[in-house]
Structure 1
Amino acid sequence: MLSGLAVGAISGFVVALFRLFIEKLLDFMKFLYSHPTPGIVIAIVVVSIVAGIFIGFLMKQEPNISGSGIPQIEGQLRGEMEFNWWGILWRKFVAGVIGIGSGLFLGREGPSIQLGASVGQGYADLSHQEGASRRVMIAAGSAAGLSAAFNAPIAGTMFVLEEIYHNFSPMVWITSLASAIAADIISLRFFGLTPVLHLVYVRSMPLPLYWHLLALGIILGLLGMFYSKVTLAMPQLYSYTRIPRAFQGLIPLLLVIPLGLAMPQILGGGNSIILSIGHTLPALPLLLLILAIRFAFSFISYGSGLPGGIFLPILSLGAVIGAAYGVFMNSLGLLPHEYILNLMIFAMAGYFAGIGKAPFTAILLITEMVGSLHILLPLAILSLTAFAVTDLLGGAPIYEALLSRLVLPTQIGRLHDAQRFELPVFAGSQLDMSSVRDYEWPTDSLLVEIRRGDERRIPHGDSVIRAGDTLIIMTDNAHLKHVRSMIERATTLPD
């Protein structure tokens, strides 16, 4: 536990500085966009190009600072990836401040988690800890990173257990909780005791109106599937630009300039948007416009590979969806005006639960960020509804799907003489209605794709294999006959 406290304190300081620099730079950029002159606009364009090139060189030196960093940590804790903690730490810090502080629709939480994990790894390496102890330090640093980013120590701990480490052992959760609390205390010294999303929860929603939670949960689940599919498709869309991957961040850094000149108040990960809508509710047309812009530019920002997260952008999208739903229902006379804010708060948790498939984290995070315990039951109902919709539709946890994209090329590269074969899955076979993780795949085999009709899916641990699917499998030529016969027994009915 003492090691967890030390990792948490160091991580809290690093992440608090990271968060502070981003806020100061973002405020400065909003000021410039609010007072434009030809000289200021030209300067922003030039600086944005230089910043994009500079971040590109950092990403070429260390590609694993790309994106949120959460899939990379999951891969590291599974033993599938390994990093130079110092190279990640300083490059992620610098590139994250520049990219997020410029006004892009990127969150600070993913990079904060990776910064914390790097501190945890560095602490373990410098104190000569190995194996399980080293992994616990990395997990503790991750919890500290999220805790310091959102002042949410309980949610930070739960996120590590539910989404990253997938282990509820006492050593993991006690060390992670100690680390998260230490980081939160350090962060509070920088930013005070006011919750990150200080929305005043005026009145509890009466039970006869709870049907709105189910209806909104279904909408959030469907829109969550849309968000996941487009997010996963963005790297392929960016490849058509012919710009090297490390320098594709130039596109959003330049596209944000006209957006900043037109609507400077909408820039950033979304924290200010949530607070603004919570205090002064816009009309439905403006809410729909904000929703469309935030959807489109969130995809553009994150899809470029720039260091930055999707955690806060997801929460902000959920808030706007909840507000738009509430205003629409109020116009129909089906929802009193005073409960619109309630749905806005609940929708943040529901949208994250549907996309991240981490409902416990979603519930605890919004509870801590808003600062009220009276919202637990409706939060749980809405989050579980959105989760169930995406689960029924076969949606994958977004971070696990992103991890699959990262490790697949490495796994294929380990095959010396790779051969590919296809096997259909028959009804009633061993693999019919089984999760990928529930089957013990033969050594030297790799399930690379599941075809379902015209749909092609990159598999992950929670993917459910169904009768009628075609499995695309790769293995070494030397093991082809053995691997094929073993998996074929699992895809066909026994004699």
Structure 2
Amino acid sequence: MDLTRFGAIGRGVLVGLIAGVVVSVFRFCIEYGLKLVQWVYGQILVTPWLVLPWIVVSVVVAVILGLMVKHEPDIKGSGIPQVEGQLAGELDYAWWPVLWRKFVGGILGIGSGLFLGREGPSIQLGATIGQGVAEKLHRKGADRRSLIAGGAAAGLSAAFNAPIASTLFIVEEVYHNFSPIIWTTALASAIASNFISLNFFGLVPVLHIPYGQTLPLSQYGNLIGLGVFLGVFGYLYQNVTLTMPSWYAKLRLPSWLDGLIPFLLVIPIGLLWPQLLGGGNAVILNIAAHTPVLTALIGIFVLRFVFSTISYGSGLPGGIFLPILSLGAILGGIYAETMVALGWMPQHFVTNFIIFAMAGYFAGIGKAPFTAILLITEMVGTLHHLMPLAVVSMTAYLVVDLLGGAPIYEALLEKLTQPKLPEHSGIQDRLEFPIFEGSVLEGHQVRDFKWPQESLLIAIRRGERQVIPHGDTLMRAGDTLIVLTDRSNRAWVHHAIDHLTAVNT
């Protein structure tokens, strides 16, 4: 009896339970921290002189966060690029210093009302827990990576209460490979983590949005229009987010003090519009329940677009996952209200388009349409939107692709790392590379290609069986190449073989 998968699932459940507790406490602290901050702004409006000590507190918190980032740069930003780099072998770090600093830093930064999301940090928290469990269980190589991936899925699952979408996000966007050992471990971790989170926060979906009726086929033309609209603004968001660090570099502040900018700018926002503070969960629910007029929606979008990129560009611990969804919801409201004003859509479908736009905007920016569709389905709590979600997501995805946009997390990872040159540690590791339809390798024999000298093709997984390859073995779409290489050489070999498995365009 082969107990390999059983053991992987058991370890995944262990990681998921621990990650579920940690991330649920993290989420709880952020939610109540944001409520405290909004209460403080209410007191300042009553007693204006309190703004002076609040400015001092904000500066102190910004400096503390800056020092934490300076001592541990791997806690910067959402953490998803760092996890993706770990799984690809392009970077690594000690798990405990990142875990506690990301936990504390995320609560201080996101809970202070900055336009940052908890989901990216939750993914990194879960991944570091998986890394820690792997270390305690003396797991190396593929087993270690499966626990890191499982922890990442558990972190997102606890943050969003969406275990299926969380698993898919890890294999589609972070790991880029539907390896059986990865997805089974990730799914087990996500389910266990979701169970813990539901005990903390209840069974109501995170973005439970009531709507009037299912969208009729006569409105599907507007879905294409919405997808194009979201794709254009998604491409804009990608470019602004990726260039924001270079704009911060022009300031005369040391980079670790960049957080002072958003911490000071958020004060007038908190005094004028405290309901807009935070990652955007409440913003989405409020807009869906009582959609503002078109001019107000445009103003909210401009404010959240600008300040979310400023917040993230500072390098503070916090993500863009939920801010992207909130911007998508606002854009959906803008598009729908415009169509209503033109007489091309009934008013009662506005809420539907707010829901569809969240998926479309994330699908375009993250280049992960499957995750976007399932995520919004799980978060909203209904299957009735699957077809419209798919149409909008695919349209937005294609528009961003035609404009030349890259997956946002992959692009952020490229800014963190440089491809490594071959090294030798003497410890072997395995890599898996799927062959897709249209790949350069499809329909060719193994001997037709020059494989990296630092690697050895040891097997080809074809369905449920493995083929031992030789020179005249024909490679097919759907195969998975299993490559052996030196552990310290994984990133270099990964880059080299990625060029071989590229899809012809």
Q: Could you tell me which of 277, 290, 297 is aligned with 1:280?
A: 290
Answering whether residue 183 of structure 2 is matched by residue 186 of structure 1, we say no
State the Cα distance separating 1:281 from its structure 2 match: 1.1
Identity %: 59
Cα separation, 1, equivalents of 2:143 and 2:211? 42
Question: How do 1:86-105 residues align onto structure 2 when only pairs under 5 Å count?
Answer: 86-105=96-115
For residue 35 of structure 1, give the secondary structure of its aligned residue in structure 2.
helix
Partner of 1:453: none
Partner of 1:25: 33
State the Cα distance separating 1:40 from its structure 2 match: 2.4
Answering whether residue 120 of structure 2 is matched by residue 110 of structure 1, we say yes
AA matched with 2:36? F
Partner of 1:404: 414
State the Cα distance separating 1:176 from its structure 2 match: 0.6
Instruction: Tell me the alpha carbon deviations over residues 200-236 of structure 1, each in whole angstroms, 9 at most, x when there is no partner.
Output: 1321111011000100100100100000001000000
For residue 241 of structure 1, give the secondary structure of its aligned residue in structure 2.
coil
Cα separation, 2, equivalents of 1:337 and 1:202? 10
Question: How do 1:64-463 residues align onto structure 2 when only pairs under 5 Å count?
Answer: 64-408=74-418, 411=420
Gaps of 5+ in 2: 1-8, 424-439, 441-448, 455-499, 501-505
User: Structure 1 pair 440/185, CA: closer, same or farther in 2 (3 Å)?
Assistant: farther
AA matched with 1:88? V
* Aligned residues of 1:363 and 1:379 also touching (Cα < 8 A): yes
Alignment size in residue pairs: 423
Answering whether residue 86 of structure 2 is matched by residue 63 of structure 1, we say no
Instruction: Tell me the alpha carbon deviations over residues 168-227 of structure 1, each in whole angstroms, 9 at most, x when there is no partner.
Output: 122111111110000001001110011100101321111011000100100100100000
Partner of 2:478: none
User: Structure 1 pair 131/214, CA: closer, same or farther in 2 (3 Å)?
Assistant: same
Partner of 2:14: 6
Question: How do 1:477-488 residues align onto structure 2 when only pairs under 5 Å count?
Answer: none
Instruction: Tell me the alpha carbon deviations over residues 308-354 of structure 1, each in whole angstroms, 9 at most, x when there is no partner.
Output: 00000000000000001111110111000110100110000000000
* Aligned residues of 1:201 and 1:372 also touching (Cα < 8 A): no
User: Structure 1 pair 442/128, CA: closer, same or farther in 2 (3 Å)?
Assistant: closer
Partner of 1:477: none
AA matched with 1:8? G
Partner of 2:434: none
Q: Could you tell me which of 38, 42, 53 is aligned with 1:43?
A: 53
User: Structure 1 pair 440/228, CA: closer, same or farther in 2 (3 Å)?
Assistant: farther
Cα separation, 2, equivalents of 1:287 and 1:183? 35
Cα separation, 2, equivalents of 1:206 and 1:397? 32
For residue 417 of structure 2, give the secondary structure of its aligned residue in structure 1.
helix
State the Cα distance separating 1:288 from its structure 2 match: 0.5
* Aligned residues of 1:105 and 1:270 also touching (Cα < 8 A): yes
State the Cα distance separating 1:443 from its structure 2 match: 8.3
State the Cα distance separating 1:442 from its structure 2 match: 7.8
**TM-score for both structures, normalised by structure 2:** 0.81
Instruction: Tell me the alpha carbon deviations over residues 92-118 of structure 1, each in whole angstroms, 9 at most, x when there is no partner.
Output: 000000000000000000000000000
State the Cα distance separating 1:51 from its structure 2 match: 0.5
For residue 199 of structure 1, give the secondary structure of its aligned residue in structure 2.
coil
* Aligned residues of 1:15 and 1:112 also touching (Cα < 8 A): yes
Cα separation, 1, equivalents of 2:361 and 2:416? 24
For residue 317 of structure 2, give the secondary structure of its aligned residue in structure 1.
coil
Cα separation, 2, equivalents of 1:133 and 1:376? 35
Partner of 2:479: none
Cα separation, 2, equivalents of 1:327 and 1:298? 23
Gaps of 5+ in 1: 415-430, 432-438, 445-489, 491-495
For residue 210 of structure 1, give the secondary structure of its aligned residue in structure 2.
helix
* Aligned residues of 1:45 and 1:254 also touching (Cα < 8 A): yes
AA matched with 1:107? G
Partner of 1:479: none
* Aligned residues of 1:33 and 1:261 also touching (Cα < 8 A): yes
